[in-house]
Amino acid sequence: MNIAMINGSPKPSGSNSGLLLGMLEPLIADGNELHAYTPNKRPLTSEEYRELCRMDVLVLAFPLYNDGIPSHLFQLLVTLEGYLKAECEREIYVYALINNGFYEGEQNHIALEILRHWCLRAGVHFGQALGQGAGEMLGSLGKVPLGRGPLKNLGRAMHSLAGSIQSRSSGESQLFSPNFPRFAWKWSATHSFFHGTARKNGLKPKDLRRRM
């Protein structure tokens, strides 16, 4: 089975979308051909769009942007829709890994519905989507095994998604937060990320609270 792994993050490297794809790969690699696409680096060529039309499965990984899909990935979907309608002669299943900076994974529900409706328009099958909350935590959890600690919910969801992909079937989409207290996540994000970023830019924490 040919599976397209599409990293829809705008970041050229070190993205949470890439981390999620990396977690999924060993769960679906056996017996399948995985093909990586990175439209954040350059637009896809006509031949690459035709390659996507010959895939059995498309896996999209992307961050939430204004409760929706990043614009460059949305443009890819719009263009791909035309190729699928004109040239596709096979059944394709689409799956998604969505992450957002809010603690609540439920925040991803609008982007999930956008993708579901796109699948209907494009004539492909919507298989399943996962929506991870507190996505910015992922980069600091590299040594935590999938399915353990803060990644317990993600591990269960990933195995469910992998099963749906392997069988090319539809599963129940899941939106979830990390197994980590919200107050601790908020404290960590404030002191490690926001204050740290402020200092790198020559600002103090109090500058972040200043009203314009």
Write out the two tokens for 121.
């328009």
pLDDT band at 12 (very low <50, low <70, confident <90, very high): confident
CA 49/CA 90 separation, integer angstroms: 14
* pTM: predicted TM-score of the whole model, two decimal places: 0.89
Task: Please give the pLDDT value at position 105.
Answer: 87
Residue pLDDT, tens place only, 25-39: 999 999 999 999 999
CA 106/CA 173 separation, integer angstroms: 11
Average pLDDT, the chain: 89
Q: Helix, strand, or coil here: 94? A: strand
With a cut of 70, say whether residue 163 has pLDDT above it: yes
Closest CA to 102 of 111, 94, 93: 111
Residue pLDDT, tens place only, 107-158: 999 999 999 999 999 999 999 999 999 877 777 777 888 888 889 999 999 9
